[in-house]
Structure 1
Amino acid sequence: MSEFHFNVDQQETLTYGSATAPHKLVAVLNLGCTASQKWWLANQAELLKAADQGQLVLHLKFWNKKKTALTNGNIAQEFIDYNDPETALRYVDAVFNNQAILRSYDCEDVPAYLEKRFGVRPYAHAEQVKHRVAQQTFQNEIATVPTLIYDDQKFTGDQWADREAVLN
């Protein structure tokens, strides 16, 4: 039985790869977190390749962590369209690649920036997603982003540096 429990429903999780893949990774991230950005940019290609090859099912969860430095990331997460995972993935990647710009805005200007820059609209169920993910992070004793649960082992982003050893 699994030690960690996450709802990986499409309405609150971006999932890539087959549910029958031999390995599972749940990544808890924040679009405004520099450590999440660093982890994502360093690992996304390898993870998506493993998902495409049927070796990994990748679940991305975005946590609205209550931390002032993450406020703009929390707002950006309200624009992830979970109903369109491919478009959502492009958006997530683009936000991480433009994170410094996102972080430079006053929080009240972030929605207009996101809409204009990325052509996105707020996700209709963003408030429910925020609450459900917060509940899951609490239940799974997650305190930091990024946190990664790979085959029932918990890692933080800096522990993932030797990913070859982890992925094999």
Structure 2
Amino acid sequence: MTRLAPELRPASEAEIESSVSGLLLRYGWYPLKTDAGQVTRGGRTRKRGHIETGFPDMTYLLALPGTGLCLAALVETKTEKGKLRPSQVEAHVKLQRQYGLAVHIVRDVAEATALVTEARQLVGALKEAQALREEVRRLAARVDELLDERDNHQIHKVPQVKL
């Protein structure tokens, strides 16, 4: 059997996953391989752990600055012609219906780049909201100072009595 050079054949799912992970790592995402719910030994696949069969291949986590929380992207990697198994369709529908979570089917690095762009926009909006919140706090503190000054000025003001 003759094999094509890697640049002449379509990328495998593992190659796509590796490229996607490399891209997301460069942008600060933490990768979690989530297909650990299954183990294959001797040609038989068995369930292991608590991750449901059909759960997306990868979960990527990105820190949300100043919160201690993270943004999560559930990613199912497929080749150009790859199709979801019925268990994957079922799991993805459940994630959407019960939890409002979208699973991103990624077939190439360009689709992963779109995730990076969307996440950067969300993080940017969060930073803007945090900056506005700090400005509101600063202004509220200044208003309190001015009100205190006014109140102190009125207390110390001695009324003048005309005789």
More contact order relative to length (CA 8 Å, sep ≥ 6): 1
Question: Normalising by structure 1, what TM-score?
Answer: 0.21
- Higher gyration radius (CA): 2
Relative to total residues, which structure has the larger strand share, 1 or 2? 2
Question: Normalising by structure 2, what TM-score?
Answer: 0.21
